[in-house]
Amino acid sequence: MNKTNDINSNTVKAIDKIFENAEKENRYQLLEHEAYTILSYFGIKTPTWKFIETDKNVNSLDFNIFKSEKLVVKVVSPDILHKTDVEGIKIIANDDVYIQNAINDMKANIANNYLKWCKDENKFPDHLKNKNDNEIINNINNSIKGFLLVEFIEYQKNDFFSEMMIGIRQTREFGPIVSSGIGGVGVEFYNEIMKTGKASKIYSACLDYNEDYIDKSLNDLVVVKSLSGEIRGSKKLIDNKNIISQIKAFINLAKTFSDNAINGNNDYKSKYIIDEFEVNPFVVINGEMLALDGLCKFKKADKISTSKPINKVKNMLKPQSIGIVGVSEKMNVGHIILNNIIEFGFNKERVYVVKPDTDSIEGVKCYNDIESIPEKLDLFIITIPASQTIEIMNDINKFDKAHSIILISGGFGEKEDSGDLAKQLHDIIDSSRNNPDKGFVLNGANCLGIYSGPGKYNTIFIPEYKLPTSPSKESPLAYVSQSGAFMITRLNNLFYIKPRYSISTGNQDDLTVSDILSYIKDDDDTKVYGVYIEGFKDLDGIFCAKLCKEINCMGKEIIIYKAGRSSEGKSAASGHTASIAGDYEVFEEILSATGSHVCKNFIEFESMIKLSASLLNKKVNGNRVGIISNAGFECVGMADNLSTHNNKLKLANFSDKTKSVIHEAFVTGKLDKIVDIKNPLDLTPMANDEVYERSVMAMVDSDEVDVIVASCVPLTPMCNTLYSSGKHKEDITHIDSLGNRFIRCFKKSNKPIIFIIDSGNIYNPLAEMMEKEGLPVFRLSDIGISALRDYVAYKLRK
């Protein structure tokens, strides 16, 4: 038997045989000794055991394999899951007579005990609910396969946690995941009361984790701290390397018996998937982990679905020809989209409108039907009601007129009564995949559209006067969002950060967020990805995680917000874009492990996008921060927000050289008699524009400072923060105004600098003036410092 973690095809076939035998008996949960056998194939140690068939006599068997003075006898039946409740487990002396007596006692009493337990607990399994007492007793007796003898284990214990759990669970979005943490009977309780990541850790079986990553993740677990002797009063029972090897074995086991779409490591692909495999508990014997039990549920592997022609995402994002269905001569959604496409500069002669009995709209030629379109188009945009869409989709497929489709229309699964239309849509998509070129790809349904800088078009159906295009130069940013409203809100809130792509995916009836990422990840001019996800299609979560890891390894940045965390949020997400929101903790653990930044709220998402896009060319060398403000409350408030559990900024200690440069600025500004030089640097309202610039540049030039916060409460009359007026002499357009000085500091610095302008609407022009030049400006100091703290931690982790 293979005792290593290297699994070959023969091993997979041998384990498949175990599954096959169970399946023949119409059971999809293994017996305990079958689970032990599989564990041993993967190098996981179990107690010494022997299975005794029901009709075997103990006296004829050899028990020399057992070295312990005591044995554990367990009944083996697929119907009896809770052995203790029915007296189906006994600890006895290692002696033939005691063993036989224990087995005889179980044979005589277990069925009656089981019946009593079912009645007391009112928990009858489905296949026994309609049977009388005698039928239940006979059924249980017939279900007994035999008895399992296991050596009695005296394991090492601590005053704190001594038992560990490691398990596999199949998830719809991420495939198999492996979790590890506190074992024993209190697993659920401790997971509930402890902070996330303290009681258990989650790993994807489909991502490659090095030992260093697993080791660092284990350091957060209370049970590992106990077993390794790090908790005061506990004894060191085991080295982390042994725990790591068990987790890696489970990851290997989970991946080997996973969906064929994600299992590609072995020549022989298993016909089965492990749905659940849990060892609870693992205990420590002589410095090594030992699995005391094993529960394994499995199922048949699914067939791999037909692959999408992902290469056609290029046709969608960089089309040479566009067709539109649903343009009215009056202003409607289709007409707005047509206007946006034209105003964006797309060639009118390469735009085709399907509109019967109409010559042209907005100078664009119209055609009576899909068949009359003279060529196969790169992109078709459909904006008509869902009830009319199926006929148009059928014609596009029948006459092979599109490489890609953007389906704006809703009504394909968002409501309970729209399931039939959704099925018809999916049937057409599947039918197109039978074409020689795999047919078309579809974005939507129920999406707000796409803005593509490289494609020179905008199909977002918001008029220009409601959502004006940013005048800024293009940023290396791409939004990929299931929610169109979320996307356009970020576009408007971060107006001066003009994205390269803004892609609303809607229901993901065909193309998913992952499919979009798989194409634009290779776009050299896209460096930052802002991703909003409500739910994944089956297994799409793990494909998304793999892409995120690949993108992060390319030196790019991914900022993600996941909606649908609570039960209420999941329900809202499902109604919004026909999404199925999954287990948020799994999402957070796996996506964070890819190097992506998973945001807790909308403010954090927006702040991280602002910093990632604005500071892309700045270098983060450490977490030492220099803080400047003219308000004492800001200095205190920012100092209060330097640290969280996971992320931390620390105040830089200024050298004598840096202090000397700041002192010279203070002398010039006549602050040297009233201000101490320390960090945070409280300039007081007496500081003028020049003092600000010289203080910031002192930190830019300082070897002790890695990142800088420059904040100004702009109401002080000492700083030039307003447009010119007959009421005062200020003018923010002046070359030496505070805004222009900040702009110069930012452009000269290779260090990240953020700026805070904390006051009302009258100071919006100052903030906008700086934002137009690419500076990251925040309007509240605590939000600004918190954003910088998280951003620096993210960059340093990468």
Burial class of residue 615, CB neighbours in 10 A (0-12, 13-18, 19+): buried
3-state SS class at 754: strand
Which residues lie below 8 Å from residue 238, measured CB to CB, with a gap of 6+?
227, 228, 284, 287, 288, 289
Q: How many Å separate Cα 736 from the centre of its chain?
A: 46
The per-residue DSSP string of 194-259 comes to SPTTTSEEEEETTS---HHHHHHHHTT-HHHHHHBT-STT--B---HHHHHHHHHHHHHHHHHTS-
Of the candidates 379, 511, 537, 538, the residue with the CA atom closest to the CA atom of residue 446 = 511
Q: How many Å separate Cα 696 from the centre of its chain?
A: 37
Separation CA 513–CA 544 (nearest Å) = 7
pLDDT of residue 127: 87
pLDDT digits (tens, 9 = 90+) for 644-676: 877 899 999 999 999 999 999 999 999 999 999
Separation CA 449–CA 397 (nearest Å) = 21
The per-residue DSSP string of 577-642 comes to HS-----HHHHHHHHHHTT-EEESSHHHHHHHHHHHHHSTTS----SEEEEEES-HHHHHHHHHTS
pLDDT of residue 305: 64
Percent residues over pLDDT 70 in the chain: 93
What sign results for the dihedral spanned by CA atoms 611, 617, 623, 629? negative
Higher pLDDT, 189 or 710: 710
Higher pLDDT, 246 or 416: 246
Q: How many Å separate Cα 280 from the centre of its chain?
A: 27
Of the candidates 7, 46, 52, 581, the residue with the CA atom closest to the CA atom of residue 274 = 7
Separation CA 296–CA 28 (nearest Å) = 8
pLDDT of residue 569: 45
Alpha helices in 433-483 (DSSP H): none
Confidence of residue 581 (pLDDT cuts 50, 70, 90): very low
pLDDT of residue 416: 64
The pair of three-digit structure tokens given for residue 204, joined into one six-digit string: 């994807």
Burial class of residue 356, CB neighbours in 10 A (0-12, 13-18, 19+): exposed
For residue 789, pLDDT over 80 is answered with yes
Separation CA 417–CA 350 (nearest Å) = 38
3-state SS class at 187: helix
**Amino acid identity, position 715:** L
Mean pLDDT, to the nearest integer, of 291-296? 93
Q: What share of the chain is helix, strand, coil (3-state, %, to 5)?
A: 40, 20, 40
- How many residues are there in the chain? 798
Confidence of residue 430 (pLDDT cuts 50, 70, 90): very high
739-748 residues labelled b (16+ CB within 10 A) or e (exposed): bbbbbbbbee
Mean pLDDT, to the nearest integer, of 474-503? 97
Question: Which phi-psi region, left, alpha or beta, contains residue 698 (left: φ > 0; alpha: ψ -120 to 50)?
Answer: alpha
Secondary structure E strands in 713-791? 753-757, 777-778
**Amino acid identity, position 448:** L
Of the candidates 626, 603, 617, the residue with the CA atom closest to the CA atom of residue 681 = 626
Asked if omega into 463 is within 30° of 0 (cis), the reply is no
Of the candidates 759, 443, 736, the residue with the CA atom closest to the CA atom of residue 631 = 759
Separation CA 365–CA 359 (nearest Å) = 6
Of the candidates 249, 177, 178, 187, the residue with the CA atom closest to the CA atom of residue 222 = 187
pLDDT of residue 383: 96
Question: Which phi-psi region, left, alpha or beta, contains residue 357 (left: φ > 0; alpha: ψ -120 to 50)?
Answer: left
Question: Which phi-psi region, left, alpha or beta, contains residue 177 (left: φ > 0; alpha: ψ -120 to 50)?
Answer: beta
Would the pTM of this model clear 0.85, i.e. be above it? yes
Spatial contact of 606 and 596, defined as CB atoms under 8 Å apart: no
Which residues lie below 8 Å from residue 279, measured CB to CB, with a gap of 6+?
39, 44, 165, 166, 167, 291, 292, 293, 294, 295
Cα atoms in the 13 Å half-sphere on the side-chain side of 196: 9
Highest average pLDDT, of 266-270, 418-422, 522-526, comes from: 522-526
Burial class of residue 308, CB neighbours in 10 A (0-12, 13-18, 19+): buried
For residue 266, pLDDT over 70 is answered with no
Q: In what order do the strands lie in the sheet with 146-151?
A: 49-53, 146-151, 70-76, 89-93
Paired residues of 458 in beta bridges: 451
For residue 582, pLDDT over 50 is answered with yes
pLDDT of residue 198: 72
What sign results for the dihedral spanned by CA atoms 402, 408, 410, 414? positive
- Number of helices (H) and strands (E) in the chain: give both, helices first: 24, 30
pLDDT of residue 645: 76
pLDDT digits (tens, 9 = 90+) for 352-375: 999 999 999 999 999 999 999 999
For residue 260, pLDDT over 80 is answered with no
Which DSSP category does 350 fall into? Answer: G
Spatial contact of 225 and 218, defined as CB atoms under 8 Å apart: no
From first CA to last CA, the distance across the chain in angstroms is 41
For residue 193, pLDDT over 60 is answered with no
Mean pLDDT, to the nearest integer, of 623-637? 97
pLDDT of residue 2: 41
**Amino acid identity, position 618:** K
What sign results for the dihedral spanned by CA atoms 237, 239, 242, 243? positive
For residue 200, pLDDT over 90 is answered with no
CA angle 408–411–414, rounded 5-degree value: 110
Separation CA 289–CA 237 (nearest Å) = 10
Spatial contact of 792 and 752, defined as CB atoms under 8 Å apart: yes
The structure tokens 């800024």 sit at 472
Work out the number of other CB atoms within 10 angstroms of the CB of residue 366: 18
Q: Which domains does the chain have, with CATH numbers?
A: 48-151 (no CATH), 164-300 (3.30.470.20), 305-462 (3.40.50.720), 470-614 (3.40.50.261), 618-797 (3.40.50.261)
For residue 185, pLDDT over 80 is answered with no
Spatial contact of 119 and 15, defined as CB atoms under 8 Å apart: no
Mean pLDDT, to the nearest integer, of 406-410? 92
Q: Where is 783: in which H helix or E strand?
A: helix 781-797
Of the candidates 610, 367, 604, 345, the residue with the CA atom closest to the CA atom of residue 454 = 345
Separation CA 631–CA 7 (nearest Å) = 64
pLDDT of residue 298: 97
For residue 164, pLDDT over 90 is answered with yes
Phi first, then psi: what are they for 386, rounded to 5°?
-55, -40
Mean pLDDT, to the nearest integer, of 227-239? 87
Mean pLDDT, to the nearest integer, of 511-527? 97
pLDDT of residue 192: 62
661-689 residues labelled b (16+ CB within 10 A) or e (exposed): bbbebbeebebeeebebebbbbbeeebbb
Higher pLDDT, 5 or 503: 503
Separation CA 203–CA 174 (nearest Å) = 10
Average pLDDT, the chain: 91
Which residues lie below 8 Å from residue 146, measured CB to CB, with a gap of 6+?
51, 52, 53, 54, 56, 76
pLDDT digits (tens, 9 = 90+) for 29-66: 999 999 999 999 999 999 999 999 998 888 777 778 89
The pair of three-digit structure tokens given for residue 506, joined into one six-digit string: 């809607």
pLDDT digits (tens, 9 = 90+) for 717-770: 999 999 999 899 999 999 999 999 999 999 999 999 999 999 999 999 999 999
For residue 119, pLDDT over 50 is answered with yes
